Structure 1
């Protein structure tokens, strides 16, 4: 009885913002049993570039959608030039200016301080978009914030700004934290229509090697790879 009472008190004490967070789901049209397909999406939050993943994509002509932050673009000039040289492979989309969760309130999300206000959410989105236009000469159409969690009011704002929300259906590396073997297994077992999220900015972590191997495993199975800008998608913001 006492344990139950303590659990109730803890639940009541939880900040309201944690109950309101959304983790949007996104899938693409299925290719069917004979032509399965997935969308590879990679976050470039900060730091460097995982050449194990990037080289796999370029060498095997595998298209992908990259969600990049302004601060990552600033720090990785040579890679930006490489991406710009392969517009047929890489779709560049908005991951914000400084990798800030689109959450109104002051509760950290996975240890990251949120935007806090709608004005700050807008600034984060606009800063990322302008950086992409400056470096690539294109306008981003999708937005994915830091942590891929949002408060409902922030989601509404971002959509009103003309962006679609870059959700996902399969986490391939859990923020580049899992061992290589697990990342390889997760991605290698993706299903037809999955939108896979992984990270291309953590060259020092083991998971990147597994991500690359998992992608090649899908290729060997006959999977096709689609960018978000070239395939029908299904979005669900309710989860």
Structure 2
């Protein structure tokens, strides 16, 4: 995910493409970038449910979110990147201690975009080649396993944008590509009020994405408020591997 306040949709539509990627990317058109959209299929016998997913890109941990998840026993899938893991080993061990709540996803070795072309998206470099994509994905998994975690089943790269060829490569490595249906915090750039509004509009089957590594921003307060609102509505929270999902690709 990005943290600039620019939306992905504005980027993919091409409105800000030249300013973001520069002349080195002139050969790559905006529709070469794909964004996986994900929904949960069906409805369980226990009522409506949503999947909360969080990216842990770098920096520290937002305990406004994590402590709420633990206190309220709210399930989530947390995508861990190498830079975050290096600074948050104690928190990571706490996540591993609650496999009933948390599923660990792979967010990449360096938190580089899993795109096999050279660019910078919202300040985030891309892997730049097929070999770079493979190293970003597999290297992230190795870090998680070396820290005591299980081999992750799901991958979501930085910026959550891909080329069709990088998607094929990631899936060929044995990972399921995680998307989302509601962008909760737009890279933690949104104010708390807007984040809470985004959460409140979630309906049965929604997959939400937010960030759990920006305690210095107001977005985390909105995430916590939004989770409480969903729980008050009777929503159940599931990890991605607990549900059948449908993924579609949008440019």
Q: Which runs of 4+ in 1 moved over 4 A?
A: none
Q: What's the CA shift for 1:110?
A: 2.0
Match of 1:95 among 92, 101, 107: 107
Q: 1:75-103, CA deviations, whole angstroms, 9 ceiling, x for partnerless residues?
A: 10110121111111000010001100011
Match of 2:220 among 208, 214, 238: 208
Q: What's the CA shift for 1:30?
A: 4.0
1:30·1:36 contact (CA, 8 Å) conserved in 2? no
SS at match of 1:126: helix
Instruction: Name the counterpart of 1:3.
Output: none
RMSD after superposition: 1.8
Q: What's the CA shift for 1:34?
A: 7.5
Instruction: Return closer, same or farther for 1:17/1:136 CA change in 2, 3 Å cut-off.
Output: farther
Instruction: Name the counterpart of 1:170.
Output: 182
Report whether the alignment pairs 1:180 with 2:192: yes
TM-score by length of 2: 0.87
Q: What's the CA shift for 1:111?
A: 2.4
Instruction: Name the counterpart of 1:42.
Output: 54
Instruction: Return closer, same or farther for 1:103/1:17 CA change in 2, 3 Å cut-off.
Output: farther
TM-score by length of 1: 0.91
Structure 1 residues not aligned, in runs of 5+:
1-6
Kindly name which structure, 1 or 2, has the bigger radius of gyration based on alpha carbons. Answer: 1
Q: Which whole-Å CA distance do the structure 2 matches of 1:98 and 1:133 have between them?
A: 16
Instruction: Name the counterpart of 1:4.
Output: none
Q: Which whole-Å CA distance do the structure 2 matches of 1:15 and 1:177 have between them?
A: 30
Pairing of 1:56-75 with structure 2 (within 5 A): 56-75=68-87
Structure 2 residues not aligned, in runs of 5+:
1-14
Q: Number of aligned pairs?
A: 229
Q: What's the CA shift for 1:15?
A: 3.7
